[in-house]
Amino acid sequence: MSKAVIGKPAPAFTATAVVDGDFKSISLSDYKGKYVVLFFYPMDFTFVCPTEIIAFSEHVGEFKKLGVEVLAASTDSQFSHLAWINTPRKQGGLGEMKIPIISDNNHQISRDYGVLKEDDGIAYRGLFIIDPKGILRQITINDLPVGRSVTETLRLVLAFQFVDKHGEVCPAGWTPGADTIKPGAKKGRQDRKSRSAMSEVVTREYTINLHKRIFGVGFKNRAPRAVDEVRKFAEQQMGTKDVRVDTRLNKFLWSKGIRNVPYRVRVRLSRRRNDDEDSPYKLYTLVTHVPVTSFKKLTTVNVDSEE
């Protein structure tokens, strides 16, 4: 029976893992005070599993900047893990790993987390997000053939961290910088407040990672500066300092080799609701999305692929 329950302490464990090429005993309690992403996979030397594990390992730097530790686990032995790591990727191996891979050889961890496929003695593709207090905040369990998304896991971690810090809730599809909802708002009137969830650097890195997955190519070196230039230009054209730049790039621009132009500019303008100066709702917010092409004097630059 699964002991993993949302809002309750995550099941404790101690097990042998392969860490930086060596065997090491690790416990969940070792990571107290940090967020933990714990994901299970069925078996070593399979097909879908290495794509997931390598993806999480390659993006571990993004997780660590958010104070998140990533742990992988399966019911294979630590010796099988090490052999898989020592096998070159071109031959179906993992290669160098930047995350611990736990051996749940007696199946107890998988059973406690409710992902054990008892008949076969392997784990389903379960993913768990545990907060710094050791409380389980998110559970996802996939059937064996379908892998998980690193980008979505990052988004979920950012959302939980935002809620923990600000006390507001995140609607469907929320990403850093998007609107949130303040709990307790009167029915029919949602008090939304737009704010940056993390520092500009973290948000930018999340955005870059997202674009790599959507378009297969990332921002070039000049992209952050281009965003700043567009923001300043929009402020001048719109006559307001309250400008947000939507950094989604359309496929047409990408196909033409333009790598540093945001798709559109998001402008927030305040307008008086009524003439009653004492009214608590005297201002409302108008949000408009303005295509970058509407700024006639703004020139775009094709960035060389080697830059």
Q: Where are the domains of the chain?
A: 14-147, 149-218, 224-307
How long is the chain? Answer: 307
Residue 205: C-alpha distances to residues 146, 199, 259 (Å): 26, 10, 16
- Nearest alpha carbon to residue 26 among 114, 112, 129, 99: 99
Per-residue pLDDT, 68: 93
Q: Which fold has domain 14-147?
A: Glutaredoxin (3.40.30)
Q: What is the pLDDT of residues 10-66, one digit of tens each?
A: 999 999 999 998 999 999 999 999 999 999 999 988 766 677 898 899 889 889 988
Q: Kindly report, residue by residue over 205-219, the tens digit of the pLDDT.
A: 444 444 444 344 344
Helix (H, G, I), strand (E, B) or coil at 18: strand
Measured distance CA(157)–CA(153) in Å, rounded? 6
Catalytic residues: 49
Q: Are 42 and 124 in contact (CB under 8 A)?
A: yes
The domain defined by 149-218 carries CATH number 3.30.750: no
Q: Which of 52-61, 78-87, 184-193, 253-262 has the lowest mean pLDDT?
A: 184-193
pLDDT for the residue 272:
47
Q: Is 62 left (phi over 0), alpha (psi -120 to 50) or beta?
A: alpha
Provide the residue type at 289 as one letter. Answer: H
Judge whether residue 165 has pLDDT over 60: yes
**Domain pair 14-147 / 149-218, same fold:** no
In tens, the pLDDT along 218-235 reads 444 444 555 666 667 666
What average pLDDT score do residues 259-276 get? 52
Give the pLDDT of residue 49.
Answer: 66
As a whole number, the mean pLDDT across the chain is 72
